[in-house]
Amino acid sequence: MTGGVMLSARVPGLADLEMLLAVARTGSLSAAATEVGVTQQALSLRVRSMETRIGVSLLLRTPRGSSLTAAGVVTAQWAVKVLDAAAELDAGIAALRSDQQAHLRVAASLTVAEHLVPGWLVALAARQRAVGKVPSAAELEATNSDTVVRRLLDGAADVGFVEGPRAPAGLRSRVVGTDRLLVVVPLGHPWARRRTPVDVAQLAGTPLVSREVGSGTRQAFEHAVAAQLAGDVPLAPPALELSNAAAVRAAIIAGAGPGALSSLAVADDLALGRLRTVDVPGLDLRRQLRAVWLGPPVPPAGAVRDLVAVAAGQRRTRTSDG
């Protein structure tokens, strides 16, 4: 279809037009067949099929060679314009693919961006070099999961990485790993010295230091608690709402309250004894880490597909905070 008009079945294909022009240039079916890389018989059959499709004779065949009929000359003139336009389209598509390969825009939830995506990008560059490609220039935006989705829907990112209880609506996704949140408190908190576990209802009723609305961490935590309590116990309002994991960690260490964060975000604090984990029996704080993109069921060919493959290939237990 062009300009809203459906082309008729009489319009030849590009390959047929190229063969017609080859005959016009060489004046011989045999020479034309050699030029386009097919047998003379195959070329002759293609031209006859084109003549049948169009409904006019295009070639005058004689023992001394072949020449274009008057209709063939006019068709060849049109064919030059069509093939020039096709070549321009082909070059444009190649440029688009090259640009897509060369520049990769990634949006990822915060701790995924801080702890996982850099390693994936290094692995992607190594993979590209191994097959003779120039590594993609990557642009990484670290934000919360809701914003990652908006960036993709707005066309401001090529691929995203999020976590949460379910795949985002309107996007394609692939699970590339798993994540686990930990409930943590500072050493001076009563729960740090508690001999018995904290139950889910008590956790739900305690004001926590929390990420902002739209964070994958907050979504996953609230979903897990609600699933365990079947919605019977409302969550207490947050003691603080903060926009990144570092601020949440600092507030918990300062004594603002317990909180739930990715084990990646608190690994150093646990190792150094600044924080302790709190056991909450029955609360499943595992979540899926997903690559997300807009468009077809599989990631777009090029750097996006390669990066998703790298992330999925490093499929060990991961933790993230969005």
Q: How far apart are CA 21 and CA 17, in angstroms?
A: 6
> What 3 state SS string does 33-95 have?
HHHHCCCHHHHHHHHHHHHHHHCCCCEEEECCEEEECHHHHHHHHHHHHHHHHHHHHHHHHHH
For tokens 């139950």, the residue is 199
Of 133, 131, 162, the closest CA to residue 149 belongs to 162
Element at 18 (helix H, strand E): helix 14-26
Q: What are phi and psi of 277, to 5 degrees?
A: -85, 155
Q: What is the pLDDT of residue 92?
A: 61
Please give the model's pTM, rounded to 2 decimal places: 0.64
Rounded to an integer, what distance in angstroms lies between the CA atom of residue 185 and that of residue 278?
7
3-state secondary structure 207-253: CCEEECCCCHHHHHHHHHHHHHHCCCCCCCCCCEEECCHHHHHHHHH
Residue 29: its pLDDT value, please?
A: 87
Query: Which letter, b or e, does each residue of 177-201 get, where b requires 16 or more Cβ atoms within 10 Å of its Cβ?
Result: bbbbbbbbbbeebebeeeeeebebe
pLDDT of res. 4 = 57
Report the interhelical angle of 14-26 vs 40-54 (nearest 10°).
110
Say what the pLDDT of residue 320 is.
Answer: 41
Residues of the chain where predicted confidence (pLDDT) is lower than 70: 1-5, 90-101, 231-233, 314-322
Reading the block at residue 1, the tokens are 């279809």
270: enclosing H helix or E strand: helix 263-272
pLDDT of residue 33: 85
